[in-house]
Structure 1
Amino acid sequence: MNGRTLEPETVSTLVAEAAAAPSMHNAQPWHFRYLSGERVLLLRADHERAMPRSDPDNRALHIGCGAALFNLRVAAAHAGIAPRTTLLPEPTDPLLLAAVQLTDLLDDAGSGELVRLHPAIRQRHTSRYPFAEKEVPGQVRAALQDAAAREGAALDFPGPWHAETVLDLVRDAESRDVVDPDVNEDLVRWTRLGAEADTAVDGVPEYAFGPRRRDGRAPVRDFSGRRPVADRGTTTFEYTPLLALLSTPEDGPAAWLRAGQALERVLLEATLADLATSLTSHALEDRTLRLLARDPGSDTGQVQMVLRLGYGPRGPATPRRAVRDVLDFA
C-alpha cells in the first residue's frame, strides 16, 4: 500500500540527501522527477553532465547515480518510507536509470541497517589529504566487505603484488595525461579555481584539492594539473596506502548502478568507522588499463572503483546544486 501522501518538503529532503553522494569530478549527473499520484521517484541521467573523453561509456556516470540511489534508500528508510527500487525500468529509455516506489515502511532488519547508516550521509567527504600509516583492523575490513556484498558487489584488499600493479596503472594513467592533454578536458571543465570556487554549485573547488604530493605513493589525483593554486603547499603521503577494489561479477549499466550503490554503502560504513576515504577511477578510465586492474590470481570480476582508506582528515564538503535544480514534480 502506498499509504499517506508525501509532502513536497519530504520528497525534497530525500532528494537533497540523495544528491550528497559522490560522483566523478562532482558533476552530479542526476535528475529526479516525482510522480505524486503514484508515489514514484524517477532517477534519470543528466547527459549534459557526461564526460565524453574520460567516461565515454558513461560507466562513471552510472556509478555516481547508483551512489545517489543508495543515499535515497537510506534517507527514505530514515523517514519511515520503504523504497522499492527497480533498475532500468524502461528498456527504450536508457536515461531512465531507476524507479523508486515510496511505500509505507515495513519493520524489517534491512530497513534498520539502512537507518543506521543515515548519519554518515552528511559526514562523508572525499579526502585528498595524507592518511596515517596505521593498520585498519580486520573486523572493520570485514564490515566493509559485507557492505559491498549486500549490494551484489565484492570489495577486495589487494596483497602487496596486486596493490603494486594497481599503483603502476595509476602512474600509467598520469603519464597518459601528460602525453595527451586532451584527456584533461573533462577535468578542466569540472574544476573551480579562484573566485569561482567560492560560488560553485558543482565540480571540485580548489579548496578540496588537498596538498600536492611531494613524496609517498598514495594514488591522489592532482586536480590542478599545471594551473597555479595559491597557498596549496606540498606534503608527504602514505608510502604503503591501503587500497580496496570494488568489483561486480558483470559489466554494463545495471552492474554499474549496483556498483554505485555498493560503493556508497561501503563509504557510509567506513565513515561510521571513523575512516577517511578517497576514490580514484583514474586507472579505470582507459579500458585497457581497467582490465589489468583485476586480481591477477583469479582474473575474475570487473573492477569498478579503487578506494583508498585510512585514518586522517575527512576533507571539506564539496558544493551541491539546489534541490530545485535536480527535482521536478509531476
Structure 2
Amino acid sequence: MMRVQPQENTVTTLVAEAAMAPSMHNAQPWRFHFVTAERLLRIRADTDRAMPRSDPGDRALHIGCGAALFNLRVSAVHAFLEPHTALLPDPRDPSLLAVVRLTDPADPAGTPSDWELRRLHPAITRRRTSRQPFSDKDVPENDRASLREAAAQEDAVLLFPDRWHVETLIDLVRDAECRDLVDPEVGEDMTRWTRLGSEADSAPDGVPEYAFGPRRRDGKAPVRDFAGRRPVPNRGSAVFERTPLLALLSTRGDGPADWLRAGQALERVLLEATLAGLSTSLTSHPLEHRELRLLARDPISGVGHVQMVLRLGYGPDVPATPRRPVHEVLTID
C-alpha cells in the first residue's frame, strides 16, 4: 500500500482538537511540532506557561499535556490514522513529553480499541468545565462503572469515595483556600491566568470571568473562586449541591510519565462523562499542597497517588473557554 502523508489541514485539525483539552487555569501549556517526512508529531511542554507557585514540580502541566495527547489520539483515529505513542522518548530532553507517529492502519475499519476511541470524538468539542451548581440527582451506577473503566483503560484508577471521605476532601479544599489567603505569592498564578472585563472577551487563554460561575451562597461543592477578592460586576450567588459527587483519579507511580498517563485517563473519563450527559469540573486545589495531597487519598480503598479530584453531576450548559490559535502552538516542517 502506498504511504500517503497526512495533509497539512489534517494535522491542523488534529492539533486544534488536541488543544481542546483542559489544563490548569486554562494555561494551555503545550506546543506541537510535525515532521512531515517522518509523519511524526512531537508534543512539548511550553514552560513559559508553567506555574511556579502553585505547580512547582510541573505535575499539573504534565497532566494537561497528557489530556491533549489523549484528544490527539482520538482525533487521529477519527481521521483513520493510527497513532503510535511514546512518552518521554528522550531523557536528555525532558520538555519533549511525547511523540506520536501517524501511520495508515493495517485494517481501515479499525480495531475494537479504535472504535472505542472514535466513539469519544464528538465529546471533544462538547466537553466543558462547569463551575455552576449541579443538581442533587444521583449518577447511576452504570455510568460510574463506565467512568471507572475509562480510567482503567489508561492505566489509572477512578474511585468514588464514601461520604465521610468526601467531607474530608471538602475540608482539604477549605484548608487550601485558607493557606492561599495568608500567602499572597500563591495568588500570583491565579491572577496571571484570570481574565476580567474586556480581556475576558479577547484573551485566547486563561479563565474568563464568564466561566467563574456564581459565588457560593450555600452548599458544599468544592469550586475554586477565581475572582478571589476582586469585584466582578453583575456576578450573582447561588446554592450549590449539598452532597457533591466527587471522584479521585490516581496512578500507581508519581513521576512525569505517570502524570502524562493521568492526563490521558482524565480526558478519557471527561469525554465519557460528556457522552453520558454529565457536567464536570476539576478540583486540584488541595493537591497543590504536598501535605494536603497526601491526605486526599482514601485511606481505606484508595491506591497510589491522587492526581485529580473530579466533581460530576447534572448542570446547565456553559460556554467554552477560549483557545489559542493553532498557528501559535503548531509548527510544521
Q: Is there any run of 5+ residues in structure 1 with no aligned partner, and where?
A: none
What is the rounded CA distance, in whole Å, between the counterparts of 2:300 and 2:187 in structure 1? 33
- The number of residues matched between the two structures is 330
Deviation at 1:300, TM superposition (A): 3.1
Would you say the 8 A contact 1:2–1:102 is kept in 2? no
Alignment of 1:82-121 (within 5 A): 82-105=82-105, 106=107, 107-121=110-124
Tell me the residue number matched to 1:251: 254
Cα deviation per residue 1:151-176 (whole Å; 9 max; x = unaligned)? 00000000011111111110100111
Equivalent position amino acid for 2:283 in 1: T
Counterparts of 2:218 and 2:238, CA distance in 1:
7
- The secondary structure found in structure 2 opposite 1:74 is helix
Partner of 1:186: 189
Q: Who is 1:328 aligned against? A: 331
Partner of residue 22, structure 2:
22
Following superposition, the deviation at residue 223 of structure 1 comes to: 0.2
- Matched AA of 1:234: S
CA deviation after TM superposition for structure 1 residue 3, in Å:
2.3
How far the C-alpha of 1:283 sits from its partner, in A, is 0.4
Identity of aligned residues (%): 69
Alignment check: 8 A CA contact 2:251 2:303 kept: no
Match of 1:12 in 2: 12
Please list the CA deviations of residues 125-183 of structure 1 after superposition, one character each: whole Å capped at 9, or x if unmatched: 00000000011000000000000000000000000111111111101001111111211
Once residues 284 and 331 of structure 2 are traced to their aligned partners in structure 1, the CA distance between those partners, rounded to angstroms, is: 31
Q: How far is 1:232 from its partner?
A: 0.8
Is residue 47 from structure 1 mapped to residue 47 from structure 2 by the alignment?
A: yes
Counterpart-to-counterpart distance in 2, 1:15 and 1:326: 8
Structure 1 residue 208 corresponds to structure 2 residue 175: no
Q: Which residue of 2 aligns with 1:172?
A: 175
From 136, 153, 157, give the equivalent of 1:154. Answer: 157
Task: Give 3-state SS (helix, strand or coil) of 1:102's partner.
Answer: strand
Question: How far off is 1:298 after superposition?
Answer: 4.5
Confirm or deny: 8 A CA contact 1:277 1:314 kept in the other structure.
Answer: no
Gaps of 5+ in 2: none
Q: What SS does the corresponding residue of 1:213 show, helix, strand or coil?
A: strand
Cα distance in 2 for partners of 1:69, 1:261 equals 7
1:302 counterpart residue number: 305
Give the whole-Å Cα distance in 1 for the aligned partners of 2:294 and 2:173: 13
- String of CA shifts for 1:187-234, please: whole Å, max 9, x gaps: 000000000011010000001101000110000000000101011100
Runs of 4 or more above 4 Å deviation: none
Report what 1:312 is aligned to. 315
Moved more, 179-188 or 59-68: 179-188
Partner AA of 2:14 in structure 1: L
TM-score of the pair, normalised by structure 1: 0.99
Distance 1:17 1:329, change over 3 A: same
